[in-house]
Structure 1
């Protein structure tokens, strides 16, 4: 069973399940989840091979969708970002009865070519024996990763005290083709679906809309101005407002 952080809200409202992206964790979503819990109970999970959840040899979307289904007692609204968005889409297609409304944050049900293996290589190359503080780790990562924001994001998954990553780096590397891909799925999810993207991101293209509407006939599209792929971190208030408006409609 996946580990989850729960933020209690009004029990008469459908609960919301949040699935994070690659290298993320439930903890990344704490501020957003807490604000959204004003209207409903929110559960943010650690996906398999991430955070405090169990490690497995497989990291593919059908298994991730089954993981999510197991933490939904009856029915939930589901929000997934990037990798978590793909898992949420497969959940909605394979377990339609579990999902009332679906929000897919900045990802489409297609295969991408942007491998994240270089980031895994950078994390593997970190000499954990030389890490006493997060700053020590950051200085080592600078040799491989120029972007301070990316380094800070990755380091949220480093347990400095235990000198270990809370990421199953070997399996994530082995399964990278599956992570950036999308499985062959049949059927449709006929519930309300919002594809919410960052206006500065190129992850959801106009060319993807035919595929999206084939799988999600009730899909709607919205963009958050000034946001990129990490729209929930870059424009949290606007993101929360868009999510709440859709769920409360």
Structure 2
């Protein structure tokens, strides 16, 4: 069972499950979850090999989908599901394989396709940090910069997964490195999700392209597409107010 953070609400609206992306955690989504929980119960999970959840030797989207299915199954009812990047792929796999568990689906800046870029340099950078020399977060930030992580936003993001007291990463870097081809890919699933689906992207991002739409619609025939102006791939962090308002308005349609 995945570790999760609950944001309770007594509303009769469907509960929302939030699924983070690669190198993230449930805690990264605290601002978004607290805002959205004003109108509905919200849960945010740590995916396997991330945060406080258990570590495994595998990290396929079939694994991640089954993990999410167990979380929803414990609620004894459907949930709306919001997933970003890797979490979006896991949410799509869940919706196609176990559509009876998913009410509506929000996919944040990702498509059900294989991407050519790799996230391995960031694993190498995190491994390059000498944790014995890290006494405060700024020490790790400096080492990440020296290791080639030029973006200060990404450096700050990575250190949110650093346990300063234990001097270790809350990320299973070995498995994530070994399974990177699966993470960058997407499994060949024949299933289709007939529920309402929102593909919410950053206008400055190139993760969801017009060329992806035929494949998206083949699996998600009710897909709608919305872009957030001025946002890139990390749209929920770059434009949090706009992201929250868009998600909230879409979820309230027809409720």
- Indicate the TM-score class for this superposition, using the shorter chain for normalisation: over 0.9
Q: After TM superposition, which residue ranges in structure 1, 4 or more long, deviate above 2 angstroms? A: none
Paired residue for 1:127?
A: 130
Paired residue for 1:58?
A: 58
Equivalent pairs, count: 249
The SS at the match of 2:226 is strand
Paired residue for 1:22?
A: 22
For residue 246 of structure 2, the aligned residue among 242, 246, 249 is 242
Matched, 1:80 2:83: yes
Task: Give how far 1:155 is off.
Answer: 0.4
Unpaired runs of 5+ residues, structure 2, are: none
Matched, 1:118 2:126: no
1:158 and 1:137 mapped to 2: Cα distance? 9
Matched, 1:203 2:223: no
Q: Which whole-Å deviations, capped at 9, do the CAs of 1:170-227 have from their partners, x for residues lacking one?
A: 0000000000100000121000000000000000000000000000000000000010
Unpaired runs of 5+ residues, structure 1, are: none
Task: Give how far 1:11 is off.
Answer: 3.4
- Correspondences of 1:173-212 after superposition (within 5 Å): 173-212=177-216
For residue 219 of structure 1, the aligned residue among 217, 223, 228 is 223
For residue 140 of structure 2, the aligned residue among 113, 137, 140 is 137
Which deviates more from structure 2 when the two are superposed, residues 97-106 or residues 234-243? 234-243
Q: Which whole-Å deviations, capped at 9, do the CAs of 1:68-118 have from their partners, x for residues lacking one?
A: 011112210000000000000000001100001000000000000110000
Paired residue for 1:102?
A: 105
Paired residue for 2:236?
A: 232
1:200 and 1:227 in contact (8 A); partners too: yes
Paired residue for 2:32?
A: 32
Name the TM-score, length of structure 2 as normaliser: 0.97
Name the TM-score, length of structure 1 as normaliser: 0.99
1:10 and 1:38 in contact (8 A); partners too: no
Task: Give how far 1:237 is off.
Answer: 1.0
Q: Which whole-Å deviations, capped at 9, do the CAs of 1:4-63 have from their partners, x for residues lacking one?
A: 011012331100000000000000000110000011000000000000000000000001
